[in-house]
Amino acid sequence: MARIDKQTAFLNILLGGTGREAGRHLSDLAVADQRPFPMIIVQIDTEPRTEPFVDRPILIPLDGGKIRTMKASPQTFGDVCTTIVENYGRFLNPEDIGNGARTIRLLTQLAFAYHYESILRGLRNAILDLYHQGGIGGIIPVLISSSGGGNRQRPANSLAPGPQRSVVREPPDRRSSRGCPANANSVPRGAVCLRASQSDDACR
């Protein structure tokens, strides 16, 4: 029987507007090189705008209705949401919430908490898309973002893969880790962990 070499695939995660624009060049280069390796492009953004080159958009917009829901029952979305609602209410006027995080990182933190399940589902499906291409021996996640802005802080820290973690595994205390701490210097690791798995069962 002929030996089948497995390839390493790349899960490219575009964060925010800068990530989206960088992804455009990444996609153009991949097409020009005739896609030399398996890859998929995922976009995570608080702006409800995507591009044709994105394979799986995960859009997590906030609006006045979502802010009202979180302010009315913040504990439903975890301790971090409660902390933000109690201490940073001046940023949470439903009438002022538009598209995007407007460089206010705590708005991205709230968006991440509100859309937690859909983010996990989107990342899981992106990983499965890669494995269904066949011949995949492993997946390397690549996070593409700017060093600042509203959309960078929460996803870039929370999506960083930890060692020996499963594809999508919740932390022990999901309610307290669901959002990013209001203190951006103490971001919990492992809210969403990406590690290649050989079977769909490992993603469930």
For residues 11 and 40, the answer to whether their CB atoms sit within 8 Å is yes
Question: What are the pLDDT digits (tens) for 16-57?
Answer: 889 999 999 999 999 999 988 999 999 999 888 899 999 999
**Which is higher by pLDDT, 178 or 61?**
61
Question: What are the pLDDT digits (tens) for 119-142?
Answer: 999 999 999 999 998 889 899 999
Rounded Cα gap, residues 101 and 98, in angstroms: 8
Q: Which CATH architecture does the domain made up of 1-191 adopt?
A: 3-Layer(aba) Sandwich (3.40)
- Please state, as a whole number, how many other Cβ atoms lie within 10 Å of the Cβ of residue 140: 14
Task: Please name every residue paired with 44 in a beta bridge, in sequence order, or none if there are none.
Answer: 15, 58
> Whole-model pTM?
0.69
pLDDT given at position 160: 52
pLDDT given at position 98: 66
